[in-house]
Structure 1
Amino acid sequence: MTRVVQFTGPRRVAVAEAESPPLLPGHLRIRTRYSGISAGTELTAYRGSNPYLTRTWDPDDRLFREGAAGVDYPVTGWGYSEVGEVTEVAPDVPAGPGVPAPGDLVWGVWGHRDEGVLPAERMTGHVLPAGLDPLAGVFARVGAIAHNAVLAADLHLGETVAVFGQGVIGLLATRLAGLSGADAIAVDPLDVRLSTALTHGARHALNARTDEVAERVRELTGGLGADVAIELSGAYPALHEALRSVAVGGRVVASGFYQGDGVGLRLGDEFHHNRVQLVCSQIGGVPPQLAGRWTVERLQRTFLGLVADGRVDVLSLVSHVVPVARAAEAYTLLDERPAEALQVVLEF
């Protein structure tokens, strides 16, 4: 038997037992060591606001359909930031460069559960870099999300980018924007996160509750406005302020997971009058203009390489490591006391 985390209803978490899955041909068995909780997408399932809980996604037409839920409670094994040890390899899996072997530590996506059985092909190249703390591996996916947003921003040396939302992904985007040659302005309603942003490469920090953000961004840029804004909070008022903050003809990358109707977003204002370009960044794919060279797999590997080289610090962003038996406490913390938490990790 193995343990798996379930959402049994809105804001209800259980750790259930399940049968250990059989080892299939061409697969690996991985014993989970750490699994990171997403404070964005994952909390929408925890809170009950995720669109899959009320509508059905049509993958052929790529439209949501009304009338039936695509996902029902209990939602089992959500999670996409796992690290574990390979314990078993199917006999038909050939050894080769990058193919994990028993005892290797690997990163990937198999959800909040004791173990995963995954195709060896999918895990090829997923062995953690030598010397990297296993806890750092939970950042492969969230780091890729931040990297994807920075690529979509199309930053250039000497430009200014305002990064809205300084949770884990926003902090990583702030750091990556600086590595790309841009000056980053961090925006968040929590002073504790703004202080962290300044240690992760932000040149300036603005409080979304107490500062007139768009006006301050223009002051900091000599009246021009930011060349680009990246919005990662998933809040419509923040997206609106990002649109207000960029220069005429500037770009806003919407990388948050927005829920419900767009209250607070007024597209007839600065978006219309300043001819702002609004683009979406989502980890299901890379920016279309880069699709010939970049993949989601490359995003993840590149990000972990930056961590292994010491160019991006992720371990300082881990605020809590929680035994999986206390998973409900971890979600309550992220939901009710976000100022106290950054990256929360379940330990198995």
Structure 2
Amino acid sequence: MPRCLAITGPHQVEILEYEDPPLQAHQVLLKTELASGKHGTTKALFDNLNFRGQHFDPAMRLFVEAEVESGPPPSRDNPLKTGTTGVGEVIGVGPDVTRWKVGDRVLGLMDVRETNICAEDRLWPLGEIDPYLALCIEPAYVAFHCIRESNVRFGESVAIIGLGAIGLLAVRMAALGGAEQIFALDPLPGRRAWAAQHGAHHTLNPREGDAALEIHRLTGGAGVDVVIELAGVYPALQTAIRCARLGGTICSAGFYQGEASSLWLGREWHHNRLTMLTPHGCGWGHVPRDYPRWDQQRAYDAIVSMMRQGRLTAPGLIQPIVALEEGPEVFRLIENEPDKVIKYAVRFSKDT
């Protein structure tokens, strides 16, 4: 039987066997070559803290107290997926599939498993795109909307807090879009080094000194036009508020856990007339702010196109690269030695 990497309990990741169901009319069966996940969100789901005793009502867009939670704790009988993106070869097609044939190599939204069943319209031809770059389409999708919806424009200044895969790709996109000054903040030196090589003008360790004060000093006292917060912890959100200039924008894209702490909303937030937004790509069931001009399909198509043109690149961002059997160990590293993981990849094919 094929195997997958799954969350089976709090802080517990295992390799499980599974069976593929029959293909539906517009579905494609893939033999997975590479797969990866968005491990920041995965870590947040380990404890299920935000959903304890709560149910998200999609009609009211409101969390309400309930005996049946929106996110029941994972178990071996009810595992959570670990993956978001992958590369694979088509080995079967549903009866009404017209876009793909057996033997095609594709990239798309996939789980970390030996086979994947995907809707035919959620895949793109791999072609000449580096397979490891292809694993970045999902974090690139979030970074894309962080940049677009916070309105980072040519000549503006931006600070990006939290340099996981999304944050590093946001640095790259801000540089491509012509930001005049880009500040990249993260406590891990390897991530700051990657940011410096791919567009950041200044890199700062927020645990050493007052990063917000240093950003104001480097911008002539003003602060930055836009701050994109991706660390997903409340002290980082407070730093974001302090980095912004009068009338600036905070793009809050981190997945915060538990009740807020370390926030002083009566200080810079109150006096500097800041705007805060959560971009599309975070949360459930909403469309981009400029829909219908931009929708999910157009955004993914644009990202894949820029990868294919060689304009959106991410050399060295995928690390470590492991076999499926090493997958549980990667999650131990994510929790205990995060400096060793930016965005992991599980390699199923030795030829990839």
> TM-score range with shorter-chain normalisation?
over 0.9
Gapped regions of structure 2 (runs ≥ 5):
none
Q: What are the Cα deviations for residues 172-231 of structure 1, in whole angstroms up to 9, with x where unaligned?
A: 101101111112111111222111110010011111011311111111111111011110
SS in 1 for 2:339: helix
When the two chains are superposed, the root-mean-square deviation of aligned CA atoms in Å is 1.7
Cα deviation for residue 308 of structure 1 reads 2.3
Aligned with 1:315: secondary structure?
coil
**Contact 2:37 / 2:111 at 8 angstroms: preserved in 1?**
no
Which stretch of structure 1 is more off in the superposition, 56-65 or 268-277? 56-65
Deviation at 1:113, TM superposition (A): 1.8
Q: Which runs of 5+ in 1 are unaligned?
A: none
1:11 is aligned with what amino acid? H
Q: Secondary structure at the match of 1:272?
A: helix
In 2, Cα distance between the equivalents of 1:131 and 1:167? 25
Q: In the alignment, what sits opposite 1:170?
A: 167
Separation in 2 of the partners of 1:154 and 1:104? 38
Cα deviation code 1:209-257 (max 9, x no counterpart): 1131111111111111101111011011111111111111111100111
Within the candidate set 79, 83, 104, 1:79 is matched to 83
CA distance in 2, matches of 1:277, 1:168: 25
Of stretches 256-265 and 300-309 in structure 1, the one that deviates more from structure 2 is 300-309
Whole-angstrom distance in 1 between the partners of 2:151 and 2:253: 14
* Structure 2 CA distance for aligned equivalents of residues 53 and 344 of structure 1: 29
Q: SS of the counterpart of 1:166?
A: coil
Match of residue 310 from structure 2: 310
Please say if residues 35 and 110 of structure 2, whose CA atoms lie closer than 8 Å, have aligned partners that are also in contact.
no
SS at match of 2:231: coil
Query: Which residue number corresponds to residue 65 of structure 1?
Result: 64
Task: Give, in whole Å, the separation in 2 of the partners of 1:28 and 1:235.
Answer: 39
1:54 deviates by 4.9
Alignment: residue pair count: 339
Shift of 1:278: 0.7
Q: Is the 8 A contact 1:147 1:173 kept in 2?
A: yes
Partner secondary structure for residue 230 of structure 1: strand
Say whether 1:91 aligns with 2:88. no
Deviations 1:318-347 (A, max 9, x none): 111111122110111111111122111112
Rounded Cα–Cα distance in structure 2 between residues aligned with 1:305 and 1:92: 26
Q: 1: CA distance between counterparts of 2:303 and 2:121?
A: 20
Q: 1:148 to 1:14 in 2, by over 3 A?
A: same
Q: Does 1:267 align with 2:268?
A: no
Partner of 1:213: 211
1:89 partner letter: V
Shift of 1:49: 3.6
Cα distance, 1:53 vs structure 2:
5.8
Q: Distance in 1 between matches of 2:101 and 2:302?
A: 22
Do 2:36 and 2:111's aligned partners in 1 also have CA atoms closer than 8 Å?
A: no
Output the amino acid matched with 1:167.
G
The 5 A counterparts of 1:71-150 are 71-74=72-75, 75-93=79-97, 95=98, 99-123=99-123, 126-128=124-126, 130-150=127-147
Change over 3 Å in CA distance of 1:38–1:307 after alignment to 2: same
